[in-house]
């Protein structure tokens, strides 16, 4: 679809009072591509409920069911397939126009940051606002693992990576931003979680809510338990795009998560207890392809993390 045709589409839509929301269209198309609400929401940096709300809004607007649920995820209905075929060239053309305008403007303050869901939820909001106040136009790409984010950085798909230290290769410039210690996460007031600094043998029999096996947090828990000849007890394995605290608050089990401090978890439904005899830490790094690129925005990352 030509650029002028797309511009005319938006003009006509506005004249008709149509609520054109590109983010909703992008969410719909990403869900169609991945066949999974969890995968699509993780890639878009949304929670599954937020993405589901967008899909329902589109279904209400177009008056049609766009997806059917299956055991493997979701699949397009005939109406959904028709809509996807019509929307994809419009969204792609809009993206091409945006990129062309950016190129003409020579906007050197555009910055794309890659990160993982837990760091995105915890640190990116304040970082985003600080960079925006400093004149940067910020985009955020979210992937399941730090290794995937590092690949984006090496492939020049992003400008900076907010990742775990284990994923930073020697070829990248990097600086440490914060160290997080591991905490036991449980519903507020739960008897089995009371006490200060429980050791692994005190909580190892508690069923835990965990991310899939590729998760570095889960690996850290498994390594610590294996040191004492123990194995992890899984109550619920959830997708990378889902929220462990929400599952714990709902009573699905406890969890072990890295936090800067117990006070960082500002949720009255939950309690976070620092774990004793847990040697692992999560070290969060800023990574860039070169020192020149990284130092350009290092002070903004440092200040945002100090304020978090």
Q: Give the per-residue pLDDT at 12.
A: 44
Q: How confident is the model at residue 200 (pLDDT cuts 50, 70, 90)?
A: low
Query: Which domains are assigned to the chain?
Result: 3-105 (1.10.10.10), 110-177+283-306 (3.40.190.10), 179-281 (3.40.190.290)
Is pLDDT above 70 for 18? no
Q: Compute how many other C-beta atoms are within 10 angstroms of the C-beta atom of residue 78.
A: 10
Query: Which are the contacts of 271, defined by CB distance < 8 A and separation ≥ 6?
Result: 185, 186, 187, 188, 189, 190, 193, 262
pLDDT single digits (tens) 275-308: 888 889 999 999 999 999 999 889 999 988 887 6
Q: Give the per-residue pLDDT at 75.
A: 95
Distances (CA, A) of 202 to 24, 210, 225, 266, 275: 46, 18, 11, 25, 10
Q: Give the per-residue pLDDT at 155.
A: 92
Q: Give the per-residue pLDDT at 42.
A: 86
Q: What pTM was computed for the model?
A: 0.61
pLDDT single digits (tens) 142-175: 998 999 999 999 999 999 999 999 999 999 999 9
């Amino acid at each position: 679809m030509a650029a002028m045709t797309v511009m005319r589409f938006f003009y006509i839509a506005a004249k008709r009072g149509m609520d054109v929301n590109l983010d909703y269209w992008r969410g719909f198309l990403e869900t169609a591509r991945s066949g999974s609400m969890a995968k699509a929401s993780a890639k878009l940096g949304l929670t599954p409920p937020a993405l589901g709300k967008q899909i329902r809004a589109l279904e209400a607007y177009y008056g049609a069911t766009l997806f059917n649920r299956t055991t493997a995820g979701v699949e397009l209905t005939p109406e959904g397939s028709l809509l996807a075929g019509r929307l994809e060239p419009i969204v792609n053309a809009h993206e091409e126009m945006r990129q062309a305008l950016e190129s003409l403007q020579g906007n050197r303050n555009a910055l794309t940051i890659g990160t993982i869901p837990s760091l995105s939820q915890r640190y990116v909001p304040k970082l985003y606002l600080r960079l925006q106040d400093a004149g940067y136009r910020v985009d955020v790409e979210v992937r399941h693992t730090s290794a995937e984010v590092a690949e984006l950085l090496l492939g020049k798909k992003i400008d900076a990576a907010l990742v775990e230290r284990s994923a930073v290769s020697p070829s990248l410039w990097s600086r440490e931003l914060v160290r997080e210690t591991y905490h036991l996460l449980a519903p507020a007031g739960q008897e089995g979680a009371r006490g200060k600094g429980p050791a692994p043998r005190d909580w190892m029999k508690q069923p835990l809510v965990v991310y899939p096996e590729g998760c570095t947090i889960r690996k850290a828990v498994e390594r610590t338990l294996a040191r004492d000849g123990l194995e992890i007890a899984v109550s619920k394995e959830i997708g990378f795009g889902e929220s462990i605290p929400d599952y714990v608050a709902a009573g699905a089990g406890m969890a072990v998560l890295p936090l800067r401090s117990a006070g960082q978890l500002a949720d009255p439904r939950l309690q976070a207890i620092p774990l004793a005899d847990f040697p692992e830490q999560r070290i969060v790094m800023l990574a860039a392809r070169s020192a020149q690129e990284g130092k350009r925005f290092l002070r903004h990352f440092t200040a945002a993390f100090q304020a978090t």
